[in-house]
């Protein structure tokens, strides 16, 4: 079903970042409960009910963001695309184990993060030879996000991207990964904590400390 029924914790009452798109409170009940409509959960339910074609909408919804993160971690776009495909395949095979009381997005990102981590263990942290905006520099003109950007601006942007990701590789792995999840994956702090299996405060500290180091290294007035 598209409607998920669960009792939130006190912490979830204070912050509903963990809840999907639409939330209704039932007032006056003995135990306060929340009904949540989640489009992802509805899609998962459809797939599990036999409509396997519905999984394509999940791919369309998350593929670009997953690819952005993969491009931050691997050297070649082709490898990044393969890792994204492996993520979706693993998610499809494990779909029956998904708990609809949690966000599908966080569950999917956890699978993707583990795939990237496994790839890193096998191949090590290699130099990034390609800019990681999610676009191949050989086919910039085909990128929708770059359609209205001048060629000079593209060159400058990709040069800055290369500098940024070179600096990310200098950070401790947990800080670099937290920054990538936050700014390339666009995850909330609680989602980062869930994906990286750490506390919420640790997730925030990793992002903050990483940003502080980057700010120092990228400061044009810093001669250190």
Report the chain's mean pLDDT, rounded to a whole number.
Answer: 74
**Under-70 pLDDT residues of the chain:** 1-37, 75, 121-162, 219-224
CATH code for the structural domain at 1-127 = 1.10.1740.10
Tell me what pLDDT residue 122 has. Answer: 64
Tell me what pLDDT residue 189 has. Answer: 94
Tell me what pLDDT residue 80 has. Answer: 92
Q: What is the pLDDT of residues 62-107, one digit of tens each?
A: 999 999 889 888 867 899 999 999 999 999 999 999 998 888 999 9
pTM recorded for the entire structure: 0.66
Tell me what pLDDT residue 164 has. Answer: 75
Tell me what pLDDT residue 75 has. Answer: 64
Tell me what pLDDT residue 127 has. Answer: 36
The answer to whether 37 and 134 have CB atoms below 8 angstroms apart is no
What is the DSSP secondary-structure string of 24-84? EE-TT-SS--EEEE-HHHHHHHHHHTT-GGGHHHHHHHHHHHHHHHHHHH-S-HHHHHHHH
Tell me what pLDDT residue 183 has. Answer: 85
């Amino acid at each position: 079903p598209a409607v998920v029924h669960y009792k939130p914790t006190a912490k979830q009452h204070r912050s509903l970042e963990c809840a999907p798109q639409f939330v209704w409170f039932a007032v006056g009940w003995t135990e306060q409960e929340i009904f949540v409509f989640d489009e992802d959960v509805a899609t998962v339910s459809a797939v599990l009910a036999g409509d396997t074609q519905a999984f394509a909408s999940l791919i369309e919804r998350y593929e670009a963001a997953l690819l952005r993160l993969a491009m931050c971690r691997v050297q070649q776009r082709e490898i990044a695309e393969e890792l994204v495909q492996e993520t979706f395949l693993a998610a499809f095979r494990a779909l029956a184990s998904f708990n609809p009381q949690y966000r599908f997005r966080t569950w999917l990102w956890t699978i993707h993060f583990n795939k990237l981590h496994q790839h890193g263990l096998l191949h090590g942290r290699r130099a990034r030879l390609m800019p990681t905006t999610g676009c191949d520099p050989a086919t910039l003109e085909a990128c929708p996000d770059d359609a209205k950007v001048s060629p000079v601006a593209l060159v400058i942007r990709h040069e800055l991207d290369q500098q940024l990701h070179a600096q990310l590789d200098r950070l401790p792995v947990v800080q670099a990964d937290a920054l990538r999840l936050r700014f390339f994956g666009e995850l909330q702090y609680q989602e980062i904590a869930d994906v990286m299996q750490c506390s919420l405060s640790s997730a925030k500290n990793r992002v903050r400390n990483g940003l502080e180091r980057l700010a120092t290294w990228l400061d044009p007035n810093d001669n250190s």
